[in-house]
Every structure is written in C-alpha cells, then in structure tokens.
Amino acid sequence: MSDDTYQPPKVWTWDKASGGQFANINRPIAGPTHEAPLSVGEHPFQLYSLATPNGVKVTIMLEELLAQGHEAEYDAWLVNIGKGDQFGSGFVGANPNSKIPALMDHRTDPPTRVFESASILLYLAESFGAFLPQTPRARTEALNWLFWQMGSAPYLGGGFGHFYAYAPEKFEYPINRFAMETKRQLDVLDRHLADNEYMAGQEYSIADMAIWPWYGVLTQGKLYSAAEFLSVHEYTHVLRWTATIAERPAVQRGRRVNRVWGSPEEQLPERHSASDFDPK
C-alpha cells in the first residue's frame, strides 16, 4: 500500500471541488434551490423527466398504454438534471428526493404525485389493469423482477457507470468491483431468460419495461459504450430478449421522449401529442 492511499477523516465534510462533472448538481442536502413552478398541460398525466434509463421506463409504459387504447394521454416536460431543474420548488413538491421521473395524476383532486420509477409503473399498471399479470403467481414473478431491477441498478448506474464512464479519474478497484457485479447480474438475467420469453414468463409486463432501458440498452452497446468491455455477446438469451423488446413501436417512441442527445431523429425534448412523433 502506497503512502498516498486515501485515509478517510474522522468526520466527513463536503468538498464541492471533488465532485467532477456533477459538482454543480450534487450536494449533501435535500430541498429546493430555487422557485420554479411545474408546467401543466392539458392531459390527465403530467410527466416531468429526462430520457435516462429510469425516465425511459415510464415513457415506454405510457406509450404502451396508449397503443392498447387506454386513456393515458400525457404531457412530458423536460427536466434538465445537468442544469439543476430537479431542484426547482415545483419539482421538489412532486418528488422530495429530486430525482426523475415524477408523475402528477390530474384525474384526482388534488392531483396525486407518484415518484420512483417502479412506483409509477405499478401505479399505472394498477390504474389501467394492464401489463401486470393477474394470476397471483405470475403477478408476483413480475413484481419480483421489477424490484430486482430497482435494487440492482445502483450497481450498474451509480457503481459501474460512474467509475467506468463518469468519474474524474479511473481506478482499477472500483471498476473491477462493479464490472464483476454487472456481469453477475447479466448472468442472472441470461439464465432466467433461457427458460422464459419475458421476465414474468410468457407475458410482456412492467418488469420488462423496467429492466430493458438498463440492461437491454447496455447489451445494445448504447450504455456507457461498455458492451465490448463487458463481453455482452456472451449473454445470448438477454440479446434475444433485448431485440424483441426493441422492435416494439411503443418502445421506440418511448425512448425518444425527453431525449436531448443523439441524432435529431432520436430526440423529442417534450411530448404533448402523438403527432409530436411525426417527422418535422
């Protein structure tokens, strides 16, 4: 061990300068930093989000509901987390944790706030009786995998993604640690999908919608550009499932909503009508 190995102090103090590219938005306290009321459109559901994997879960769900004919019209407002929009007073009122996505359901008076992506998926599934199996065994299996994703993603995003792609310096130990865990999770999925068409069995559900934007997009090579590093070609059943989900028109639309990067054809910063997807 070298003499310059970091030794934690007895009491941690916040050093904003050590935050890397996220220094302007990360802080050790909660609450709003500025007054900013939420925009409200004409539809029952008002979504405040960004097309990160967690945001894409919800826009896929809403587009899938609309494709089935449910009255799930929504306005999707862009929350630019790089600029600190999530710390506006209105957004903090919708989600006191200041994380996207947040949903306001204006079918109720007063509107019902729903935050945490899994909570939003479950809320919408139960509201419309869709994309959640009805038999107890299959429903439980879908929820098993929904909550597996919520518990596992911090290792993929905050762990592997942070140290592999975003940390201001590269360190072997954390990259190895989280690469190992990410590959273990991919193996969990691969073994399950060897015997199941979808996460809950033979029925497409909110479990697939939760997992695909993280692990499916990773195996497509579109998350952290890490597909080669993690040898994702080894997970053939995940790749099959990934391709199946990617072909769904609602998934293709959902990926575009609140997206402000990539080619112009991939971007749709705000969504207020189905016609917004039409080529301009």
What gap in Å lies between CA 235 and CA 187, rounded to an integer? Answer: 7
Where do we find the tokens 């310059």? Answer: 4
- Please give the residue that has the higher pLDDT: either 18 or 259: 259
Q: Is the pLDDT of residue 2 over 80?
A: no
DSSP 70-92: -S--EEEEE--GGGTGGGBHHHH
Q: What is the pLDDT of residues 148-185, one digit of tens each?
A: 999 999 999 999 999 999 999 999 999 999 999 999 99
Q: Is the pLDDT of residue 42 over 70?
A: yes
Average pLDDT for 65-78: 98
Q: What is the pLDDT of residues 204-243, one digit of tens each?
A: 999 999 999 999 999 999 999 999 999 999 999 999 999 9
- Taking the CB of residue 51, how many other CB atoms lie within 10 A of it? 26
User: Residues spanned by CATH 3.40.30.10 within the chain?
Assistant: 45-131+268-277
The residues, any chain, with a CB within 8 Å of residue 178's CB and separated by 6 or more, are 155, 156, 159, 160, 163, 164
Using the 8-state DSSP alphabet, how is residue 271 labeled?
A: B
Tell me, what's the pLDDT at 280? Answer: 64
What gap in Å lies between CA 211 and CA 64, rounded to an integer? Answer: 15
Residue 186 parent element (H or E) = helix 172-193
Tell me, what's the pLDDT at 20? Answer: 73
Tell me, what's the pLDDT at 25? Answer: 84
User: Residues spanned by CATH 1.20.1050.10 within the chain?
Assistant: 136-247
Evaluate whether 210 touches 203 at the Cβ level (below 8 Å). no
Q: Is the pLDDT of residue 1 over 70?
A: no
Question: Which of helix, strand or coil describes residue 280?
Answer: coil
Enter the tokens of residue 259: 């997206």
| Fold adopted by 136-247 | Glutathione S-transferase Yfyf (Class Pi); Chain A, domain 2 (1.20.1050)
| Nearest CA-CA partner of 124 in 212, 47, 216, 215 | 47
Between vectors from CA 193 to CA 192 and to CA 196, what angle results, nearest 5°? 95
Average pLDDT for 181-205: 98
Q: What is the pLDDT of residues 84-126, one digit of tens each?
A: 999 999 999 999 999 999 999 999 999 999 999 999 999 999 9
| Fold adopted by 45-131+268-277 | Glutaredoxin (3.40.30)
- Helix, strand, coil distribution of the chain in percent, nearest 5: 50, 10, 40
Average pLDDT over the chain, rounded to an integer: 95
